[in-house]
């Protein structure tokens, strides 16, 4: 069951991605709705993070294309914000909390322009939204995991984007931080922003997401969360992983597709 959104904010068509000739994503056709909190859900190794990285141009696909607002990423980059997994960041980098959030303003600045007073004011306002303004001058390495995640969210907010791609935003955070993040994401969606988040906790997913995508190398289902998170579709997503891997490998051989070496 794959329901395509009308007037989508993001579209992926015939998207196939592989690492060292091993398929990671296969023939992904998706249309994401605007003004929703969208969850990308699936087992480990299903290609969830790879999908976000490919959308952001960090990984080149073997085939297919992606459109944002009906155009390429290069033409709409200022409108798109990406929050990577916390574990992929070098937290020993010598920067204050405010410095990190101000980095979110760079997309709005011209080439070689320094942040202005207004940029710092916007950054401080974003820190207040996540409850971190009192730590603006603290070194980022001194924060807890949950505090670091709040700072990364504030940096994304400072970009003033229309679309936010978030890779596991709730991993390693405490319950209070999780609630702060979720309340903020829902408020952003109500204001017309779109959030696409990789998520692994099936228990919380029905309460978090308006729209869900079940992914296991291919799209198993996509649509309003109540229609997607059903026992049958979840069983197909999580219980058929080996079958999917086998079928995709066979298709690669049959079509004589030669994915790029990474």
Instruction: For residues 168 and 249, state if they share a domain.
Output: yes
Instruction: For residues 18 and 114, state if they share a domain.
Output: no
Give the model's pLDDT for residue 147: 87
Instruction: For residues 134 and 196, state if they share a domain.
Output: no
- Return the exposure string of 174-206: e unless at least 16 CB atoms fall within 10 Å of the residue's CB, then b: eeebbebbbebbeebbeeebbbbbbbbeeeebe
Q: What is the CATH number of the domain that holds 41?
A: 3.40.50.300
Q: Are 41 and 85 a contacting pair, CB within 8 Å?
A: no
102 part of a folded domain: yes
Give the model's pLDDT for residue 128: 92
At 98-142, the pLDDT tens digits run: 989 998 888 776 656 788 888 899 999 999 999 999 999 998 888
77 part of a folded domain: no
Distances (CA, A) of 114 to 59, 108, 126, 151, 249: 30, 11, 19, 21, 50
**pLDDT averaged over every residue in the chain:** 85
Instruction: For residues 169 and 256, state if they share a domain.
Output: yes
φ, ψ dihedrals at 231, nearest 5°: -55, -40
Q: Are 28 and 197 a contacting pair, CB within 8 Å?
A: no
pLDDT band, very low/low/confident/very high, at 90 (cuts 50, 70, 90): low
- Return the exposure string of 213-234: e unless at least 16 CB atoms fall within 10 Å of the residue's CB, then b: bbbbbbbbbbbebeebbeeebb
76 part of a folded domain: no
pLDDT band, very low/low/confident/very high, at 223 (cuts 50, 70, 90): very high
Instruction: For residues 254 and 169, state if they share a domain.
Output: yes
Distances (CA, A) of 175 to 156, 166, 185, 204: 21, 18, 15, 12
Give the model's pLDDT for residue 55: 95
Instruction: For residues 61 and 98, state if they share a domain.
Output: no
With a CB cutoff of 8 Å and minimum separation 6, the contacts of 6 are 33
Instruction: For residues 2 and 127, state if they share a domain.
Output: no
At 240-257, the pLDDT tens digits run: 543 444 444 444 445 444
Q: Is the dihedral of CA 129, 133, 136, 138 positive or negative?
A: negative
| Number of folded domains that form the chain | 2
Domain range enclosing 52: 1-69+162-174+186-262
Q: What percent of the chain has pLDDT over 90?
A: 51
Residue 185 has pLDDT above 70, yes or no: yes
Instruction: For residues 60 and 90, state if they share a domain.
Output: no
Instruction: For residues 151 and 234, state if they share a domain.
Output: no
H helices of 41-110, where?
Answer: 48-55, 73-76, 97-102
Instruction: For residues 54 and 167, state if they share a domain.
Output: yes
Instruction: For residues 57 and 150, state if they share a domain.
Output: no
Among 108, 126, 161, identify where a domain stops: 161
Q: What is the residue whose two structure tokens read 């779109």? A: 194
């Amino acid at each position: 069951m794959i329901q395509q959104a009308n007037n989508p904010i993001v579209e992926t068509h015939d998207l196939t991605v592989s690492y060292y000739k091993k398929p990671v994503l296969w023939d992904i056709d998706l249309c994401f709705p605007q003004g929703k909190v969208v969850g990308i859900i699936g087992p480990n190794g299903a290609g969830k993070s790879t999908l976000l990285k490919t959308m952001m141009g960090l990984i080149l696909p073997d085939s297919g294309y992606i459109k944002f607002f009906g155009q390429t990423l290069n033409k709409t980059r200022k409108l798109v914000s990406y929050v990577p997994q916390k574990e992929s960041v070098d937290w020993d980098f010598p920067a204050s909390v405010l410095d990190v959030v101000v980095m979110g303003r760079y997309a709005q600045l011209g080439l070689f322009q320094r942040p202005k007073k207004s940029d710092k004011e916007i950054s401080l306002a974003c820190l207040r939204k996540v409850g971190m303004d009192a730590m603006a001058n603290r070194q980022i390495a001194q924060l807890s995991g949950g505090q670091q995640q709040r700072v990364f969210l504030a940096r994304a907010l400072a970009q003033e984007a229309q679309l936010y791609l978030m890779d596991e935003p709730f991993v390693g955070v405490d319950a209070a931080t999780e609630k702060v993040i979720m309340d903020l994401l829902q408020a952003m969606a109500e204001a017309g922003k779109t959030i696409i988040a990789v998520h692994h906790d099936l228990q919380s997913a029905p309460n978090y997401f308006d729209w869900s995508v079940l992914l296991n190398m291919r799209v198993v289902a996509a649509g309003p969360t109540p229609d997607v998170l059903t026992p049958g579709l979840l069983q197909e997503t999580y219980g058929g992983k080996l079958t999917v891997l086998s079928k995709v490998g066979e298709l690669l051989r049959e079509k004589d597709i030669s994915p790029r070496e990474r």
